[in-house]
Structure 1
């Protein structure tokens, strides 16, 4: 069964084009190392909550937009191996594709698929 890496982050709204460029380059790297598909979603209707919300989770500021993204891998093993290789390659080329957002506020995790209708 496929394995999913998901993340939520806050991107300065003025950096939308830079983020899309960054994500496009990152997608090539992830796919090179085994990812099946990457999906990037720019927030359009993401309400602020009273107790919890996407904006609260990433400390989204007034001039930022919430982004939801996920990477589909063929398996957990493929993800573990691929992600290790991605991180090694990324570190050696970090200046080539700088993150146009505050990575410290990104939340992420790996997920087993339990239903796919």
Structure 2
């Protein structure tokens, strides 16, 4: 069964190009070590109102909803990046991530950081099998 690593990070808006470069390198490395897919998402701050995700009976006022910005702890001048890496299974993920974190291309110490990695929220997820297939 596939395994998914998810990441949520506050990133300074001014660092978008630097983050994209870091993401390109990271995607290349993780796929070399077994990842099937890498998705990086920059928050659409002009996107749909959160209430559009709820039925009429459950709609609340805008201020009552949580947000990715709040969850990520984004500060003034920052936005949110949501990323995920799909692996074929947890064993491949575990072996691959040991290699990823030790790969010299993933050591960015000589560059200014694109974001504060100490504020990164990350976790592994087991996909649910819902029986729904693409048409």
In the superposition, the TM-score normalised over structure 2's length comes to 0.76
1:85 to 99, 106, 109: 99
> Match of 2:12?
12
How many residue pairs get matched?
117
RMSD: 2.4
Instruction: State whether structure 2 residue 117 is matched by structure 1 residue 103.
Output: yes
Matches within 5 A, 1:27-38: 27-38=27-38
SS at match of 2:103: helix
CA distance in 1, matches of 2:21, 2:114: 10
Unaligned runs of 5+ in 1: none
Contact kept, 8 Å, 1:34 with 1:79, in 2: the verdict is yes
CA distance in 2, matches of 1:72, 1:9: 18
CA distance in 2, matches of 1:106, 1:83: 16
> Match of 2:41?
41
Instruction: State whether structure 2 residue 105 is matched by structure 1 residue 68.
Output: no
In the superposition, the TM-score normalised over structure 1's length comes to 0.86
Name the CA shift for 1:26/1:4 in 2 (closer, same or farther; >3 Å).
same
Unaligned runs of 5+ in 2: 51-61
CA distance in 2, matches of 1:98, 1:83: 23
**Per residue, is there more strand in 1 or in 2?**
1
